[in-house]
Structure 1
Amino acid sequence: MHAFAVTGEGADVTDVEVPTPEPGGHEVLLRVERSGVCHTDTHLRQGFYDLGGRGSLRLADRGMTYPLVMGHEVVGTVVRIGDQVTGHRPGDVRLVYPWIGCGECTECGHGRDNHCAAGRNLGVARHGGYAEYILVPDEKYLVGIQGLEPGWAATLACSGLTAFSAVHKVLPLPPDEPVVVIGAGGVGLTAIATLKALGHAAICAVDLSAENLAVAAELGATTTVVATHGAASKDIVRACGGPVAAAIDFVNNGATATAAFDALRKNGQLVQVGLFGGELTVPTALMALKMITIRGSFVGTPAELSALVDLARRGALPHIPVIDAPLTADSVREALDRLANGGVGGRIVLRAAGSPRGS
């Protein structure tokens, strides 16, 4: 099959031919219809994560191999099934949950595949959606999206799920308690939309781009802060009328994490999501005196994705902007470059050849 892959650490995306998988057992082969482009893919392309003073985390040292076919926000049509598949048939259109666990550990046994220490994620450890076809290891990772536009539905597998899970780590809170969302790109905008859909009434969006903040306000942000000086905590506190109950950092570099921490009130929560890199240094006494909670959040569980899709199908989740482009090597490269340079107000979703717009 034709695919678009990174052939080595730091290499760019090129056209490649790889064997078309043949499903067996519980596996399902889907023809890719839509494939969203995530900022995580920019890190996969460069081959490492920035760990601040601890250097970098090389993905090859964690088992990532080349050629790597990225793409983990996938909507596809079932074309072939394994002999133990009972709930799907060719022609079914499905959203793919890509955060595949080992299937044997305690976390996987409790339905928390994204917690698995030996994960085999699609688009990272297995070939993903920048290709003609994608092989899903079990039909349990497929979610029906009847009634949803497939381009937007594709974003729910990562952008939507990441935001949904992070938001639920700070809720419940009284609706008028400010929640700060740092970063109004695709994931941050989805978090704002999700907070609004869940009835939260005080949402502060922080971003470098006034254009992104205008979109954030349309989706439900009640207060916005232009981070012209590195998202200073005093600007956040002033905008929110005092220290805040919770902050979700979808950028998560040294400057934004520090600003988020410093803006928290007593018993405040900081959820760190972004992978931009850096480090956070905090006063240990303040951690105790202010009873601060800091936690990381990585995507979400299969059950959370199903709950998010249900929310979307009920019409309760506002749409983030979706930028349509063809699924080609040039489009993948251009999309990754745009994300690496910042300023994408929404989510870029690539459309496979022969798949009409809006279908």
Structure 2
Amino acid sequence: MRMFQVCVCGQPLQCNEQPTPEPTGTEVLLKVLAAGVCHSDLHLAEGFFDLGGGKRLSLQERGMNLPITLGHENVGEVVALGPDAKGVKIGQKMLADPWIGCGQCGPCRRNEDNLCSAMRSLGVFSNGGYADYLMVPHPRYLFDIGDLPPERAAPLACSGVTTFGALKKVPTLKTEPTVIVGAGGLGLMCLALHQKMGGHSAIVVDIDAAKLDAAKKAGAKAVVDARAPDVVDQIRTLTNGGAWAVVDLVGSSQSARLGYNSLIKGGKYVIVGLFGGDLTVSLPPIPMRALTIQGSYVGSVPEMAELMDLVKRSGLPDVPVATRPLSAVNAALDDLRAGKIVGRVVLQPAVG
């Protein structure tokens, strides 16, 4: 089987081959049908996250062992089962929830694998779906996609459940406008799910005119150019005095300042993106203005189940998806790094 791996951080992924693994115990082997390309893969390929101030968070120090096969937005067909894998059948097309914990700690016992401190996430700490085959450790992480197109369903595993989990943290979702910072793959997914979850309205902020245009066409109430000198004033005007909720899907120093400064008294800033940087704020205004700053990291297994149920009831999020052969993975990552992708790119191993 082919697998595209990070072998040296900062260098293009290498195509390696190894025998197709055979599942044991509760393991399930999938033939990969679709693997989404996520912005986080750029950080994983580089081997670090930018903490601001010249500091870096090394992924190898956190447990990412090289070589590692990237790809955490995966749909595949079940082709082999371990003897203890129950509840799945050969031939089923399944979405693989990649956010897998240790299985033993408190968060894992509460079905909050995404809060585990010793995660084994697919495509991060264990081999992912930029390959012909993918091994999933247990059927509990698999969700039948039915007749959904694999390339459209695959992004639900990260951009879908990540934005779904973030929007669930917005108490004013149905009563006040939500400001969405970033109109890339995450932003357009967030906008689509905001609508499906009955959101009041959405204001989308970005620096890219093409992405803002895509957000406007996708149903944003308003779009704002983040490069405008009065961007915060524009947001405050559009939200009648300030935003009750800002969901930041960029996570840079600039987007964080914009999001935090746009809040109304009692507002909530939810940071999701991992672009990198830092944020310095004065402390007294946080309690005096009753502000909330909250991180949101991907989603739990129950949230993945909730999202799949929502999609089956209301249809897939209307997000632009372009497909490419698996062999074009490095070109796709380069285009993503250069900001050339609107929506999501999904790789298809069977194509190349």
Give TM-score, length-normalised by structure 1.
0.95
**Equivalent residue number for residue 154 of structure 1:** 154
User: Which amino acid in 2 is paired with 1:60?
Assistant: Q
Task: Indicate if the aligned counterparts of 1:322 and 1:346 stay in contact, CA closer than 8 A.
Answer: yes
User: Partners of 1:348 and 1:317 in 2: how far apart?
Assistant: 16
**Equivalent residue number for residue 255 of structure 1:** 254
Q: For 1:99, what is the secondary structure of its paired residue? A: coil
Task: Indicate if the aligned counterparts of 2:173 and 2:200 stay in contact, CA closer than 8 A.
Answer: no
**Equivalent residue number for residue 324 of structure 2:** 325
Task: Indicate if the aligned counterparts of 2:178 and 2:200 stay in contact, CA closer than 8 A.
Answer: no
**Equivalent residue number for residue 338 of structure 1:** 335
4+ residue stretches of structure 1 with deviation over 6 A?
Answer: none
**Equivalent residue number for residue 2 of structure 1:** 2
Deviations 1:115-149 (A, max 9, x none): 00000000011110000100000011000111311
Q: For 2:122, what is the secondary structure of its paired residue? A: coil
Q: CA deviation at 1:77?
A: 0.4
Distance 1:76 1:178, change over 3 A: same
User: Partners of 2:317 and 2:89 in 1: how far apart?
Assistant: 31
**Equivalent residue number for residue 57 of structure 2:** 57
Deviations 1:272-302 (A, max 9, x none): 0001100011110111111110011110011
**Equivalent residue number for residue 284 of structure 2:** 285
Query: CA RMSD for the aligned pairs?
Result: 1.5
Q: For 1:170, what is the secondary structure of its paired residue? A: coil
User: Which amino acid in 2 is paired with 1:305?
Assistant: M
Identity %, equivalent residues: 44
User: Partners of 2:234 and 2:172 in 1: how far apart?
Assistant: 25
User: Partners of 1:193 and 1:46 in 2: how far apart?
Assistant: 30
User: Partners of 2:101 and 2:274 in 1: how far apart?
Assistant: 21
Superposed, 1:273-312 pairs within 5 Å as 273-312=272-311
Deviations 1:19-58 (A, max 9, x none): 4221111110111010000000000111100000260011
Q: CA deviation at 1:69?
A: 0.5
User: Partners of 1:249 and 1:343 in 2: how far apart?
Assistant: 20
Deviations 1:328-359 (A, max 9, x none): 1xx1111111111224210000112159xxxx
User: Partners of 2:69 and 2:228 in 1: how far apart?
Assistant: 37
Q: CA deviation at 1:244?
A: 0.9
Q: CA deviation at 1:96?
A: 0.2
Task: Indicate if the aligned counterparts of 2:36 and 2:72 stay in contact, CA closer than 8 A.
Answer: yes
Higher mean alpha-carbon deviation, 67-76 vs 225-234, is at 225-234
Identify unmatched segments of 5+ residues in structure 1: none
Q: CA deviation at 1:172?
A: 4.4
User: Partners of 1:15 and 1:139 in 2: how far apart?
Assistant: 28
Aligned residues: 352
Identify unmatched segments of 5+ residues in structure 2: none
User: Which amino acid in 1 is paired with 2:349?
Assistant: A
Q: For 1:221, what is the secondary structure of its paired residue? A: coil
Higher mean alpha-carbon deviation, 279-288 vs 208-217, is at 208-217
Q: CA deviation at 1:232?
A: 3.4
**Equivalent residue number for residue 347 of structure 2:** 350
Q: CA deviation at 1:238?
A: 2.7
Task: Indicate if the aligned counterparts of 1:245 and 1:265 stay in contact, CA closer than 8 A.
Answer: yes
Superposed, 1:1-359 pairs within 5 Å as 1-53=1-53, 55-175=55-175, 177-229=176-228, 232-328=231-327, 331-353=328-350
